[in-house]
Structure formats: C-alpha cells, structure tokens
Amino acid sequence: MTTSTARFRFEFRVFDWAETLSRDLCGERCSFFIGIREDGSVRRLYFARGDVSFSGDRKSALAESHPVWFFYSPHDDLGAGYLEWFNLPRSLVERWLKRRLEAHDFIDVRATGAREEWPENWRVLIG
C-alpha cells in the first residue's frame, strides 16, 4: 500500500501525463527516465520492461549522466507511483502538459497554504 506524499495539483497533473506517456508508448504502465540536455531538449528516453524498474543503482547512474532529468515509476495500484525530477524547468513541463500551470495548481490540497513557484527539484509518492 502506497503512502501518498502528494499535496499539490501540479503533482497529479505531471503524474497523469507520465502515466499516459508510458501507456501510449509501451502499451502498459512502466518506469521511464528522461535525460535532458541543459538547453531543454531530450537527450535520452529510457523505458524499463514491464517487470523491471529503474531503481537504486540503475537510476542513480542515469541521473549522474544527465544535468536535467525526469523519472516516473508506477506502483502496482492503478493511479499510484513515484515521480522525481532534477533541475527541471517549469517551461519544459508546461510544454509536455500542453498547458500552463496556474496559481491553483500550486495550492496545497491538504491545507490552506500555497506554494508560490515551481520546484525544479522534487520527489513525490502518489497513490
């Protein structure tokens, strides 16, 4: 059972995008890693086989070789998984989402506080 750490709408938007990309390109939910150049262009896109994930040393090696990256790993429960990114600019994510992230995407859904800016480094469990 996943213990969710998600608090913001942007986390769910990015998660839904990642889950859809995985299903659309692989036919199923599977882990993937996107290595990105400093100019924001995609350098590498790695998908794991359905029964394999990019965890531990494998993910660390990929992360160390890219200045900017994004990682998605689904969990067994539908709608559950893990997201992590490093140096990821908001403008790139908005391009992937095909929409701007608005102020309401940064409202804490578990409290009344709000986050005022995009976190370039982040990790979250959804589910």
Confidence of residue 1 (pLDDT cuts 50, 70, 90): low
- Burial class from Cβ neighbours inside 10 Å (0-12, 13-18, 19+) for residue 9 reads middle
Residues 5-45 pLDDT 10s? 999 999 999 999 999 999 999 999 999 999 999 999 999 99
Q: Please give the C-alpha separations between residue 22 and each of 17, 60, 66, in angstroms, as whole numbers.
A: 9, 20, 20
Pairing of strands 32-36, 42-47: antiparallel
End-to-end Cα distance, the chain:
8
Q: Is pLDDT at 3 greater than 90 in this prediction?
A: no
Residues 7-18 pLDDT 10s? 999 999 999 999
Task: Give the mean pLDDT of 105-124.
Answer: 85
DSSP per-residue letters across the chain: -------BHHHHHHHHHHHHHHHHHHSS---EEEEE-TTS-EEEEEE--TT----THHHHHHHHT-SEEEEEEE-SSTT-EEEEEES--HHHHHHHHTSPPPGGGGBBTTSS-B--S--SSEEEEE-
What per-residue confidence (pLDDT) applies to 22? 95
Q: Is pLDDT at 97 greater than 90 in this prediction?
A: yes
pTM value is: 0.92
30 closest CA partner among 16, 9, 51, 15: 51
Q: Where are the domains of the chain?
A: 9-126
What per-residue confidence (pLDDT) applies to 50? 66
- Return the higher-pLDDT residue of 28 and 56: 28
